[in-house]
Chain A
Amino acid sequence: MKSSGFRKFLSETGDIARFTGRFFTELFKPRFEFAEFFRQCYFIGYKSLPLVAITAFIMGLVITIQSRPTLVEFGAEAWLPKMVSVSLVREIAPVITALICAGKIGSGIGAELGSMKVTEQIDAMDVSGTNPYKFLVVTRVMSTTLMIPILAVLADAVSLYGGFLGTNIRGVCSWDLYWNQVFDTLTYGDVIPSIAKTFLFGFAIGIIGCYKGFNSSKGTEGVGQSANSAVVISSLLVFVLDLLAVQITDLLQLT
């Protein structure tokens, strides 16, 4: 299958689309693997929480400290909670969560499925009558799709808490006033699109990780390659989806 780079890219895109289509057909077939789904949810969601929380906390703190000098220049220091909350909730917390998860979960899924593929466990599953796609791919993609939004909500909360601490490093803003200002500023137009796009991020991370692992080439080298490319492509897809989400929300006047 020798072909040019562009052709390879197109065929891979087609493969991913086919893979995604297969996910939806398999999703609605009966016998959903609940036990495996919850196990994956635990690993993908719960186990990623400390990493996401620390990152979000630091981002909230840093964004607040970084925004202060500009706002002080305008004499709008009091607007710090408002500005920080909007930037954190709308963009930073969801995207940071998605990128961290792309690194941690995408690579994990890619490596796990890749090694299973290499060690012919998937083929063995197929022979033993278990649907490997349903058992491995559907559960993982579903858990990433549902867990990333929850992680993003928690990341919002933790980053806003970081913002509260950041506001109080040089200024004074009481706990009540901070949250009052935050929720005064935020609207559904800020929160709902930003949560909605994290479902897409989660889905993209899961599907790319699974695709790369499922289609891993033979050998240990292939496992590393699939893990690596899973991270790269899912991170890239997060940004592409972010761009699309922003354009769609802007088009629908949801902002």
Chain B
Amino acid sequence: MAAKDFRNVRLGIFVLVGTGLLIAALYLIGSKQNLFGSTFHISANFNNVSGLMKGNNVRFAGINVGTVESVEIVSDTSVNVVMIIENSVQKFIKKNALASVGTDGLMGNKLVNINSVNEPSESIEEDDVLQSLKPVEMDQMVRTLDVTNENIKVISTNLRNITDKINSKNSLWNLLMDTVVAENVKSSIVNMKLMSNEGLYITGDLKAITQGIKNGKGSIGALITDTLISSKIKQSVITLQKLSDTAAIVTGDISQIVRNLKHGKGTMGVLLTDTSLIHNLNTSVKSINKGAVTFDEDMKALQSSWPFKKYFKKQKKAKK
């Protein structure tokens, strides 16, 4: 009998584990579909539900919060979708939230997305109706993609042309690929480097020179920097000024003298201007002329006088 009891115990465990697993699985599946636990109902009206079915998920902020309970046509432009939502999210869904029909992934199941609007509102309540957004339709997407594809085609053709051009001879690419050019470029860069090095030296020198000039080395430097010379120059300029001043005075004096001379002041002036003196001179010269004539006559008379006769004769003979 003990053996039979033991068997029965094992059979009991077997049956219990089996049925327990089945019940657990059914409960888990049910809980995923919100068949247990506290829920509430909300609904939304759509123009087009894109194949939404009973049992599809409802997501709020990307989290599964419920399922679609029913999809019913209300009128020719309106489909009413009733959703079962978990009570725990009731406080988060506001009355002004927007419902939209979306897809889980690109090819996945349809689902209802509830999105919050950035405006304050009260929490949703049982049997509230949400505003809805027009669903993004696959057809429309594909149509847009088609246009995009056309554009990409054109762009890729252009790109191909460009790359062809780049690859062809006498192109930039060739230039880039040419090793000689590269060598030249390299050597010119080296030269440029040398040049710039020299330039560096030159600037260094220039710097030294200007430094020197600043410090008063060399003649220019001295010229520029020697304060003594500049004061001397200043002085000479002053002297020159004085000189010219003096010259002006001298000129003034001269003109005074000339004026005086004109007016016959002083000895020279008298000399130059005294008309009586000139008259006297004239008469003196006339008297001298008279005296000379008389003297000539005297001389002739003398020649013919005896003491002097012999001499004149002798002179005549020598002339012949």
At the interface, is chain B mostly helix, strand, loop or mixed? Answer: helix
Complex Cα gap A42–B18 (Å):
14
Which of the residues B4, B10, B55 comes within 8 Å of A46, measured between beta carbons?
B10
| A104 CB, min distance to chain B CBs, angstroms | 15
A58 at the B interface (CB under 8 A): no
Which of the residues B15, B29, B30 comes within 8 Å of A45, measured between beta carbons?
B15
Query: A183, B25: Cβ atoms under 8 Å?
Result: yes
B11 at the A interface (CB under 8 A): yes
Best-surrounded residue of B4, B10, B11, B33 (most CB of chain A within 10 A) = B11
Taking CB atoms, residues of chain B closer than 8 Å to A195 are: 22
Complex Cα gap A154–B33 (Å):
23
A38 at the B interface (CB under 8 A): yes
Query: A183, B28: Cβ atoms under 8 Å?
Result: yes
A157 at the B interface (CB under 8 A): yes
Query: B15, A153: Cβ atoms under 8 Å?
Result: no
Complex Cα gap A45–B7 (Å):
11
Given the contacts A150-B15, A153-B19, A157-B21, A184 and B26 also touching, CB distance less than 8 Å: no
Which of the residues A46, A156, A157, A184 comes within 8 Å of B11, measured between beta carbons?
A46
| B22 CB, min distance to chain A CBs, angstroms | 5
| A84 CB, min distance to chain B CBs, angstroms | 15
Given the contacts A157-B21, A195-B22, A187 and B14 also touching, CB distance less than 8 Å: no
Give chain B interface residues in 163-191, CB to chain A under 8 Å.
none
Taking CB atoms, residues of chain A closer than 8 Å to B29 are: 183, 186-188, 191
Given the contacts A188-B26, A191-B25, A183 and B19 also touching, CB distance less than 8 Å: no
Complex Cα gap A227–B33 (Å):
46
Query: A153, B21: Cβ atoms under 8 Å?
Result: yes
A98 at the B interface (CB under 8 A): no
B283 at the A interface (CB under 8 A): no
A138 at the B interface (CB under 8 A): no
Query: A150, B19: Cβ atoms under 8 Å?
Result: yes
Query: A154, B28: Cβ atoms under 8 Å?
Result: no
Query: A42, B10: Cβ atoms under 8 Å?
Result: yes
Complex Cα gap A42–B15 (Å):
10
Which of the residues A150, A183, A187, A192 comes within 8 Å of B18, measured between beta carbons?
A150
B32 at the A interface (CB under 8 A): yes
Taking CB atoms, residues of chain B closer than 8 Å to A157 are: 21
Q: Residue-by-residue, is A138-180 near B (CB-CB < 8 Å gives 1, otherwise 0)?
A: 0000000000011101101100000000000000000000000
Which of the residues A149, A150, A191 comes within 8 Å of B14, measured between beta carbons?
A150
B8 at the A interface (CB under 8 A): yes
Taking CB atoms, residues of chain B closer than 8 Å to A188 are: 26, 29-30, 33
Number of A residues, CB within 8 Å of B:
22
Complex Cα gap A154–B17 (Å):
8
Number of B residues, CB within 8 Å of A:
20
Complex Cα gap A38–B8 (Å):
7
Taking CB atoms, residues of chain A closer than 8 Å to B8 are: 38, 42
A208 at the B interface (CB under 8 A): no
Query: A153, B22: Cβ atoms under 8 Å?
Result: yes
Complex Cα gap A42–B25 (Å):
24
Complex Cα gap A235–B190 (Å):
91
* A143 to B, closest residue via Cβ: B11
Query: B32, A184: Cβ atoms under 8 Å?
Result: yes
Query: A191, B26: Cβ atoms under 8 Å?
Result: yes
Taking CB atoms, residues of chain B closer than 8 Å to A187 are: 29, 33, 55
Complex Cα gap A149–B22 (Å):
10
Query: A154, B25: Cβ atoms under 8 Å?
Result: no
Query: B18, A154: Cβ atoms under 8 Å?
Result: yes
* A151 to B, closest residue via Cβ: B18
* A188 to B, closest residue via Cβ: B29
Taking CB atoms, residues of chain B closer than 8 Å to A191 are: 22, 25-26, 29
The 5 A-B pairs of least Cβ separation, nearest first, read A150-B18, A183-B28, A153-B22, A42-B11, A46-B14
Residue contacts A-B, CB under 8 angstroms, 25 given: A38-B8, A38-B11, A41-B11, A42-B7, A42-B8, A45-B11, A46-B7, A46-B11, A150-B14, A150-B15, A150-B18, A150-B22, A153-B18, A154-B18, A154-B21, A156-B21, A183-B29, A184-B32, A187-B33, A187-B55, A188-B29, A188-B33, A191-B25, A191-B29, A192-B26
Supplied contacts A41-B15, A42-B11, A153-B21, 14 more A-B pairs, CB within 8 Å: A38-B7, A41-B11, A42-B7, A42-B8, A46-B14, A49-B14, A149-B22, A150-B18, A153-B25, A184-B32, A186-B25, A186-B29, A191-B25, A195-B22
Interface residues of B (CB under 8 A from A): 4, 7-8, 10-11, 14-15, 17-19, 21-22, 25-26, 28-30, 32-33, 55
